[in-house]
Structure 1
Amino acid sequence: MPISARTYFGKIMLFGEYSVISQGRALSVPISKFHARLQFPGEEFNIEETRLNQQLKDYLLDLVRREETERRDHGIDLNRFALDLLRGLYLESDIPPGYGAGSSGALVAAVYESYACEPVPHKPFPSPRNMRKLMRRLGMLEAYFHGTSSGIDPLSCYLQKPLLIDPEQGNKPVEIPPLPFGESGGFFLVDTFLPRRTESLVSRFSEHYIQEHFRNMIHDSYIPLVDFCIDALLEAHPDEIARGIRQLSSMQMIYFREMIPPGFFDAWNHGLETGEFYLKLCGAGGGGFLLGFTENYDLARKSFHNNEDQFLPFPISG
């Protein structure tokens, strides 16, 4: 069986960071600007291909170790995977690692589709039962990168569709209607140029979550606000989207301040004070991307010195 020839897009969790691990909903969307695919080298390895091949070998060794010591069955043909690695298999990817954009999720999706013994097809869209099975399997395969994994990121990369994560009703694909601003406004990404480690940030959140007042805030205020933003976007209510994101931005500045890179406090507060744009965490925070929303890209871009490498418009309809 040949390796998957599919290209796997990165993903962005548009709404739901931290609430999703508290049994709230989340909305994950593909980002076609970044992508990855499995490749074999040409006749001669170059240095970069050798390095990327070694990364996959390290990943394989961890899967083998877990199967032997923890008696885990990843459902992967490890022998065939190993043989392809000896032939130089590597993952060609421009998804920035440590950015919450799906670098490990895309790798896991590619490995799963190429080497799963009984893969759940990505088309047609999996049944609820197969979706749960797929998410568990992908979560196990991603554990190497994050210690533990819900499976949401590789699931998003594997299915390549906007995905509503709903612990109560089950996960399902959704259509995101276009915003009324055309190409002049909408969502954007801000590159902090700071990679981050998800595990430490999630651990910090878990420490806060033990405290009753913080836990009550999450369930009584934060999760309902995330739900409001998701529903406003899916139902195409731009005024409510802006209002919801403004409240979310303000709440994150208060309760998630330690997850915001200090160098972006001024821009974050400027957006809240002027209404020119609003910033929120994108994934765990601490670095990587920030997610923004504006009705006027040109106006918002000025707060980031018109830096085309830092300010990235992010169309999401589809």
Structure 2
Amino acid sequence: MTNPLFYAKILLFGEYGIIEDSQGLTVPYSFYKGVLKFSDLQSDFDKESNSSLLKYASYVHHLELPEKFQLDISHFEKDIENGLIFDSNIPQGYGVGSSGALVAAIFERYSKIKYVAEKISKAELMELKQVFGTLESYFHGKSSGMDPLICYMNLPILIENRDTIDKVSIPESQAGKGAIFLIDSGSTGETAPMVQIFFEKMKTEGFRKTLKEEFIRYNDACIDAFLKKDMNPLFRNLKSLSTWAFKHFKPMIPESIYKAWKKGIDSNAYYLKLCGSGGGGYILGFTKDYAKAEKMLKGFHKEVIYRF
């Protein structure tokens, strides 16, 4: 059995906004990864993983997937009997795509038709996203399919709107003072409750208006500036985005991060934003001077994911 690795993903921009048709930009993150492999099921981790796959196979068995994206379920179930596990160091509840990598790995291994990521057309990307949404709904109640798609493609993806996504190239990471980094909030977050809070907020006209007129505008401007590597407008819009989120997404910001979030806005030393749905897990940071930001964020575990 060949063992392709499936990496975590990071949604740089677009959290919640992509539900309402904003742009999104997501990139693979190779620090965390998962792989399907066989085990003698001696450890508790392996036993639990194998048992979880068995429950998931039962769910997939009853799905009606399009002809070109059918899975060989009997092969999947037979492998589970023989000790199949998903060996992953991707933290769950951290917004970096743990279930997305699992779904991508299963699709890669058991899809009856084999696809080559670089040759998948724009139209097929949308079809795949829908199929992955169905496959991942088991874990989140409702899934856009975006996380497994990123993990499967292992390429940066630009979400232009809910009907259009495309592969995109991002400026290469290079040694410099600036950085994009992750901060560990110290707690896990659950997607479903956070999304529920968002939909409750969407019931009020004022929130819908500010999301559309402010959040989406700042978000899309950040993506445009980042892809052009235009740092001044990027950081100007990041400050607006971070300030907006501090005001309107407060329930999604882990309490351990409140003061640090505000300190970044007030000092202009760095700006924080949600990484995924929030509530816990990782928070994303952007700074023009990482050495300075690191000192100001002493006490937090941080990981640099991109330098400029």
The 5-angstrom pairing of residues 1-318 of structure 1 reads 2=1, 5-41=3-39, 45-64=42-61, 66-67=62-63, 75-124=70-119, 126-167=120-161, 170-178=164-172, 182-305=175-298, 307=300, 310-315=301-306
- Give me the whole-angstrom Cα distance separating, in 2, the residues matched to 1:29 and 1:107: 17
Q: Report the Cα distance in structure 2 between the residues aligned to 1:256 and 1:119, rounded to whole angstroms.
A: 41
Aligned-residue offset at 1:148: 0.9
2:65 and 2:131 in contact (8 A); partners too: no
3-state DSSP class of the match of 1:129?
Answer: helix
Alignment CA distance shift 1:267-1:254 (3 Å):
same
Q: Distance in 1 between matches of 2:65 and 2:36?
A: 25
Q: Does structure 2 conserve the Cα–Cα contact (< 8 Å) formed by 1:198 and 1:284?
A: yes
Listed as ranges, the gaps of 5+ residues in structure 1 are none
Q: In 2 relative to 1, CA 78–227 (structure 1 residues): closer, same or farther, beyond 3 Å?
A: same
Inter-partner Cα distance in structure 1 for 2:122 and 2:178:
36
The number of aligned residues is: 306
Q: How much has 1:76 moved relative to structure 2? A: 1.6
Q: 1:220 Cα deviation (Å)?
A: 1.3
- TM norm structure 1: 0.91
Q: Could you tell me how far 1:51 is from its partner in structure 2?
A: 1.7
Structure-2 change in CA distance of 1:276 and 1:35 (3 Å): same
Q: Deviations over 1:72-102 (max 9, x none)?
A: 6672211110000011011111110001101
- For 1:41 and 1:183, locate their aligned partners in 2 and report how far apart those are by CA, in whole Å: 43
Do the aligned partners of 1:112 and 1:119 also contact (CA within 8 Å) in 2? Answer: no
Q: 1: CA distance between counterparts of 2:278 and 2:151? A: 20
Structure 1 residues 179 and 106 mapped into 2: Cα distance closer, same or farther (>3 Å)?
closer
Give 1:179 deviation, angstroms.
6.3
Indicate conservation of the 8 Å contact 1:95/1:102, yes or no: yes
Q: Deviations over 1:236-285 (max 9, x none)?
A: 10111111111100000011111111121111111111111111111111
SS of structure 2 residue aligned to 1:171: strand
Q: Report SS of the residue matched to 1:195.
A: coil
Label 1:242 to 1:179 Cα distance change in 2 as closer, same or farther (>3 A).
Answer: farther
CA distance in 1, matches of 2:206, 2:271: 26
Kindly state the Cα deviation for residue 300 of structure 1 after the two structures are TM-superposed.
1.0
- Displacement of 1:206 after TM fit? 0.8
Shift, 1:203, TM fit: 1.1
Does the Cα contact within 8 Å between 1:142 and 1:149 map onto a contact in 2? yes
Q: Aligned AA for 2:213?
A: D
Shift in Å, 1:218: 1.2
**Aligned partners of 2:127, 2:18: CA distance in 1, in Å?**
19
- Distance in 2 (alpha carbons) for counterparts of 1:270 and 1:89: 47
Deviations 1:158-213 (A, max 9, x none): 00111101226721111111467x24321000001211110111111111112111
- How well do the aligned residues superpose, as a CA RMSD in angstroms? 1.8
Q: Secondary structure at the match of 1:285?
A: coil
Instruction: Name the SS for the 1:45 alignment partner.
Output: coil
**What are the superposed Cα offsets for residues 20-54 of structure 1, whole Å, 9 maximum, x if unpaired?**
00011100011111111111125x63332122111
2:93, 2:34 → 1: CA distance? 15
**TM-score between both structures, scaled by the size of structure 2:** 0.94
